[in-house]
């Protein structure tokens, strides 16, 4: 294995056109140990044409991800990597590129202008390159953290995978600017908690909730709504597992799917199959919002914990289900039919506990607002000790999954559990959250009476001219964590918002430090008041300080309307005396073993 210096290469080789690349089997011996049963349990198509297909596996012991990238129609090379939010600038990349002499594989990064540079530290390690009739398979690995400031830190939560195609051979790697390439992104949960799968009960039965041979619309984004129903007299069961069914050939089009149960208030729900934003859609479908199952691209089956199941069927449960399928069709392919959906595994032998869903975070109220032009403004909602003391059982609850939710400006979400004023664990954290990738994730935590659950969302409002207030509208914001847990309790909603009296004091303060601008008269609404704040540094900082100091109103509710008994206004902010430390990423000890330059792939030569 040679390690040429890039500058020598650069001098020695010239542009060639239309180079046919003959890549030769087995460049470096397979290193590391991928698990025996299925070396790459996770799969995802990267581009809508299906040219690039990623499979991967995670070794938690080695803190390393093993990637297998299938490149179906290789031209002059490909880029693959990760970036903060899916941009091709400031991305951490591996590049397979060719010049007239051969093909190379190297760890690289792109700067803020998209210019690609070879990394001084080669942390993507090529394990095998194999030419097959299907295409070129590249097998490589990378540690979660590398301690290279140009590298992406692989964390729990959303990862924005990026890719690009090189159409022509290159003089050198430095000749690449990502802005000139055909590129794209794919969001995925790369790290999956390795929790043993509970065995399914012997009497497990299945039910498929599938799209009825839908003609996928020739438009980029479609949310398809389909209403179906449980058999008449279907008794109470427990869902214990579910898995996706994706119609073959549509793997790159089916982005995510959810099954909702409708509200029990309605005796019947009209049948429907069509786009969710259709004018023909019956109004009653808006009352089908109780999640039974949620899947997104890259996820596998979801198993309930052994002791619990999600109840459906029987009295007090609607017979009507709504399937929602998000078709992501950026190439506007037409004429494609789809019957994707979700297969529910359920049992009549009810498990010990019903699973429940609880809403944590911020109440839907305009008193919580984000100034415009903020790059990372944090709002925090609390589930206080007083509420958990009252509403949780003495033995506490077990959280086993969580789904984060914001509207368009949300970029990070985290829920932390605090006990006796000390943060003790992360319930769920996503440092690269996207509202376009709201997946249900396994997340294990136990909450006891008196615990505090703190949910913080980080927003980017750089493209907004006015303050963004809390609320239901798509241009308003939310900060929610839907926590799945057992045993089910009556607590449906444990959220907070700043005390309105203190917000009123804030508006009066703004007027005193600036020329009178905000109407503090009784008829002015909070959104109107926020809209008239002059957003100088002082008003921004003081709003931040207010949210970190002022008392809160608690929503500690049985259902969205009924509060638990007690005084919930003007509650003190929970006091946190000790924060969880950010884990320092491990620098891989084996750095000295990794090559200092790119790996040469070419053995058979590649002149065209």
Q: Which residues are catalytic?
A: 223, 405
Q: Does position 544 bind a copy of itself by CB under 8 A? A: yes
**Which residue in 44, 257, 550, 600 binds a copy of itself (CB under 8 A)?**
550
Span of 61-69, 451-459, 467-475, 591-599 interacting with a copy of itself by CB under 8 A: 591-599
Q: Does position 512 bind a copy of itself by CB under 8 A? A: yes
Distance CA 368, CA 470 (A): 5
**Which residue in 133, 149, 233, 315 binds a copy of itself (CB under 8 A)?**
149
Pick the closer one to a copy of itself by CB: 115 or 489: 115
Q: Does position 588 bind a copy of itself by CB under 8 A? A: yes
CB of 589 to a copy of itself, least distance (A): 4
Span of 55-63, 156-164, 351-359, 535-543 interacting with a copy of itself by CB under 8 A: 535-543
**What secondary structure does DSSP assign to 133-157, as a single string?**
SS-EEEEEEEES----TTSPPP-SS
- The residues near 433 (Cβ < 8 Å, ≥ 6 apart) are 157, 158, 404, 406, 410, 411, 412, 413
Return the structure tokens found at 320: 């009507």
Cα-to-chain-centroid distance, residue 58:
17
Distance CA 325, CA 341 (A): 8
Residue 54 pairs in a beta bridge with 44, 69
Q: Are strands 369-370 and 356-362 parallel, antiparallel or unpaired?
A: unpaired
**Total residues contacting a copy of itself (rule CB under 8 A)?**
34
Q: Does position 509 bind a copy of itself by CB under 8 A? A: yes
CB of 545 to a copy of itself, least distance (A): 3
Distance CA 301, CA 312 (A): 19
**Which residue in 148, 359, 385, 477 binds a copy of itself (CB under 8 A)?**
148
Distance CA 496, CA 554 (A): 5
Q: Does position 513 bind a copy of itself by CB under 8 A? A: yes
Return the structure tokens found at 389: 């003391």
Distance CA 124, CA 494 (A): 44
- The two counts, helices (H) then strands (E), for the chain are 5, 37
Distance CA 127, CA 95 (A): 14
Return the structure tokens found at 204: 């497990």
Q: Does position 536 bind a copy of itself by CB under 8 A? A: yes
Cβ of 462: how many Cβ atoms within 10 Å? 11
Q: Does position 589 bind a copy of itself by CB under 8 A? A: yes
Pick the closer one to a copy of itself by CB: 286 or 590: 590
Q: Does position 596 bind a copy of itself by CB under 8 A? A: yes
Pick the closer one to a copy of itself by CB: 169 or 588: 588
Q: Does position 15 bind a copy of itself by CB under 8 A? A: no
Span of 9-17, 39-47, 132-140, 548-556 interacting with a copy of itself by CB under 8 A: 548-556
**What secondary structure does DSSP assign to 454-498, as a single string?**
EEEEEE--TT-SSPEEBSSSTTSB--EEEEEEES--S--EEEEEE
Q: Does position 542 bind a copy of itself by CB under 8 A? A: yes
Q: What angle do CA 141, 143, 145 make, to 5 degrees?
A: 150
Binding-site string for a copy of itself from residue 289 to residue 328, where x marks contact by CB under 8 A and - marks none: ----------------------------------------
**Which residue in 587, 605, 607, 608 binds a copy of itself (CB under 8 A)?**
587
**Which residue in 13, 373, 511, 591 binds a copy of itself (CB under 8 A)?**
591
Pick the closer one to a copy of itself by CB: 249 or 534: 534
Chain positions contacting a copy of itself, by CB under 8 A? 120-121, 147-149, 502, 505, 509, 512-513, 536-538, 540-542, 544-546, 548-550, 584-585, 587-596
């Amino acid at each position: 294995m040679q390690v040429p210096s890039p500058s020598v290469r650069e001098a020695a080789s010239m542009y060639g056109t239309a180079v046919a690349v003959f890549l030769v089997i087995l460049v470096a011996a397979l290193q590391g140990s991928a698990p025996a049963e299925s070396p790459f349990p996770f799969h995802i198509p990267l581009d809508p044409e299906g040219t690039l297909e990623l499979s991967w596996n995670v070794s938690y012991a080695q803190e390393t991800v093993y990637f297998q990238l299938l490149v179906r129609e290789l031209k002059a090379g490909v880029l693959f990597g990760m970036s903060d939010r899916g941009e091709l600038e400031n991305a951490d990349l591996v590049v397979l590129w060719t010049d007239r002499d051969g093909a190379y594989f190297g760890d690289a990064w792109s700067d803020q202008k998209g210019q690609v540079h070879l990394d001084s530290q080669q942390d993507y390690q090529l394990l095998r390159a194999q030419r097959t009739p299907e295409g070129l398979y590249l097998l490589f690995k990378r540690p979660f953290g590398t301690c290279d400031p140009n590298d992406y830190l692989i964390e729990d939560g959303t990862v924005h995978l990026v890719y690009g195609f090189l159409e022509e051979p290159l003089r050198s790697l430095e000749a690449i600017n990502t802005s000139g390439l055909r590129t794209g992104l794919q969001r995925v949960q790369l790290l999956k908690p390795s929790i043993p799968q509970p065995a399914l009960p012997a009497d497990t039965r299945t039910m498929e909730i599938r799209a009825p041979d839908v003609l996928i619309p020739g438009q980029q984004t479609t949310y398809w709504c389909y209403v179906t129903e449980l058999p008449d007299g279907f008794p109470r069961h427990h869902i214990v597992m579910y898995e996706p069914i994706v119609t073959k050939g549509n793997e790159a089009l089916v982005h995510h799917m959810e099954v909702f149960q409708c509200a029990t208030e309605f005796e019947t729900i009209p049948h429907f199959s069509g786009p969710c934003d259709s004018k023909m859609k019956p109004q009653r479908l808006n009352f089908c919002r109780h999640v039974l199952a949620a899947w997104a691209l890259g996820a596998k089956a979801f198993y309930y914990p052994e002791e619990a199941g999600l109840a459906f069927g029987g009295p007090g449960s609607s017979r009507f289900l709504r399937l929602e399928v998000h078709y992501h069709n950026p190439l506007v392919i037409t004429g494609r039919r789809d019957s994707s959906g979700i297969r529910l595994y359920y049992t009549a032998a009810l498990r010990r506990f019903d699973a429940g869903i609880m809403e944590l975070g911020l109440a839907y109220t305009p008193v919580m607002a984000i100034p415009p032009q903020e790059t990372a403004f944090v709002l925090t909602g609390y589930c206080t000790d007083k509420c958990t003391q009252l509403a949780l059982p003495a033995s506490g609850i077990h959280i086993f999954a969580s789904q984060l939710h914001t509207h368009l400006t949300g970029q990070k979400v985290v829920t932390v559990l605090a006990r006796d004023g000390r943060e003790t664990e992360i319930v769920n954290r996503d440092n690269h959250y996207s509202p376009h990738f709201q997946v249900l994730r396994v997340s294990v935590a136990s909450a006891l009476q008196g615990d505090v659950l703190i949910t913080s969302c980080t927003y980017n409002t750089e493209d907004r001219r006015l303050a963004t207030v809390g609320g239901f509208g798509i241009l308003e914001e939310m900060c929610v964590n839907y926590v799945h847990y057992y045993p089910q309790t009556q607590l449906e909603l444990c959220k907070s918002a700043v005390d309105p009296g203190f917000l009123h004091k804030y508006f009066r303060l703004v007027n005193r430090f600036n020329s009178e601008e905000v109407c503090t008269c009784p008829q002015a609404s909070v959104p109107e008041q926020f809209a008239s704040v002059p957003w100088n540094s002082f008003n921004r900082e003081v709003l931040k300080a207010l949210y970190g100091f002022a008392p809160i109103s608690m929503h500690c509710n049985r259902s969205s309307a009924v509060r638990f008994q007690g005084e919930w206004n003007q509650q003190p902010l929970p006091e946190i005396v000790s924060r969880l430390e950010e884990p320092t990423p491990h620098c891989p000890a084996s750095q000295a073993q990794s090559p200092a330059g790119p790996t040469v792939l070419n053995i058979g030569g590649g002149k065209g």
